């Protein structure tokens, strides 16, 4: 399901933000989708370093620990 959402929004030039650990297989797989080029967000500090973005699509790792963002 996430793959379809991500592909749809990426094709409409949204920046894809994935809340979770980029080393987790689920997040790593989503980041690796062709033509997506998403950004993994693991902490509030990561958010502070994002450039200004006009169009974003945010999804979250389904097995995410409470300790993240």
Residues taking part in catalysis = 26
Is residue 3 left, alpha or beta, with left meaning phi > 0 and alpha meaning psi from -120 to 50? alpha
Can you tell me whether residue 3 is helix, strand or coil? helix
């Amino acid at each position: 399901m996430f793959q379809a959402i991500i592909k749809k929004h990426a094709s409409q030039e949204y920046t894809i933000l994935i809340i979770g650990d980029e080393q987790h297989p689920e997040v790593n797989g989503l980041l690796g989708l062709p033509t997506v080029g998403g950004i993994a967000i693991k902490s509030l500090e990561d958010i502070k370093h994002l450039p200004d973005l006009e169009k974003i699509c945010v999804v979250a790792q389904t097995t995410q620990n409470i300790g993240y963002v």
